Amino acid sequence: MKISTKGRYALRMMLDLAENQGDSYVALKDIADRQSISKKYLEQIVPLLNKSGMLKTNRGYQGGYRLSKVPSDYTVGEILRVTEGSLSPVACIEYEVNECPNADSCPTLGIWKGLYDVVNKYLDSITLEDVINRSSGGADSACL
């Protein structure tokens, strides 16, 4: 499993909003500038986050974007699933019903299910607030 640029940038955008929105909306250009991400690329990510209800939008002079919930209500896992789709390491466990003809006798299926569970539990245990607190607390934080 490899997280794409889309997933990494979506996470950075959400973190930027969590840190910078205050009581107002944040312009996409400002996020792009602070994060050194192309505004055009962010424009491709916004509809995914907006459709999932993660963002509030406002058009016009003071328009922009803001989180629809508080940072502690967003997990890294949910943000990545919105942008990446499934975080499954193999296609056969990507959907609830495993349609692989070898599923009943596959000796490795348990390995992939275990990996999938560990990855999801880990990513779902980290909120935007956790990431902000880790990075502002002076501890080393992984590059997103």
The answer as to whether 143 is a domain residue is no
The answer as to whether 27 is a domain residue is yes
Q: What pLDDT does residue 95 have?
A: 80
Residues 6+ apart with CB under 8 A from 6: 44, 45, 83, 84
Spatial distance between the Cα atoms of 72 and 48, rounded to a whole number of angstroms: 20
* Phi and psi, residue 57, nearest 5°: -120, 150
Nearest CA among 90, 87, 97, 96 for reference residue 111: 90
The range of the structural domain enclosing residue 54 comes to 5-86+127-136
Q: What pLDDT does residue 64 have?
A: 93
CATH classification at residue 32? 1.10.10.10
Q: How many domains does the chain have?
A: 1
Low-confidence ranges of the chain (pLDDT < 50): 139-142
Q: What pLDDT does residue 86 have?
A: 87
The answer as to whether 51 is a domain residue is yes
The answer as to whether 122 is a domain residue is no
Nearest CA among 4, 6, 30 for reference residue 16: 30
Q: Is the pTM of this model over 0.85?
A: yes
The answer as to whether 13 is a domain residue is yes
The answer as to whether 120 is a domain residue is no
Q: What pLDDT does residue 1 have?
A: 74
Contact 31, 42 (CB under 8 A): yes
